[in-house]
Amino acid sequence: MCPMNLSSSSVASEVSGDRTTSVAGPEPPGSPWPGRTEEIAGQIERAYPGYHVWTSDAGWWYATRMHPHVPGQAETIYGHGPGELTVALAAEEAATRSRARAGAW
């Protein structure tokens, strides 16, 4: 599965120092996506079924596998924002598929 395309007009990476802006102006520090977090988390959960997406108080985004995992699979994936999280999820899913194909032979 490919990483989600999160529009730069609604989500910005804090790693690069970008801030998300709204009609009302820049968002206050410490709340990078107020009101949008649940919507974005839901989009990621739909793109990667089997994961529950949540954020920490520090702003990190996590996706925890809801089903038992097999050896070699990460139980929780994380990223500094939703973009980084989807890239990490895509990498984890690719690695899981690769291990599954290798085990099939």
pLDDT at 39 over 70: yes
Reference 36, options 60, 20, 15; nearest CA is 20
The three state secondary structure string of the chain is CCCCCCCCCCCCCCCCCCCCEECCEECCCCCCCCCCHHHHHHHHHHHCCCEEEEECCCCCEEEEECCCCCCCCCCEEEECCHHHHHHHHHHHHHHHHHHHHHHHC
Q: What is the pLDDT of residues 48-100, one digit of tens each?
A: 999 999 999 999 999 999 987 777 788 999 999 999 999 999 999 888 788 77
Question: In the prediction, which pLDDT does 104 show?
Answer: 54
- Residue 15 — pLDDT band, cuts 50, 70, 90? very low
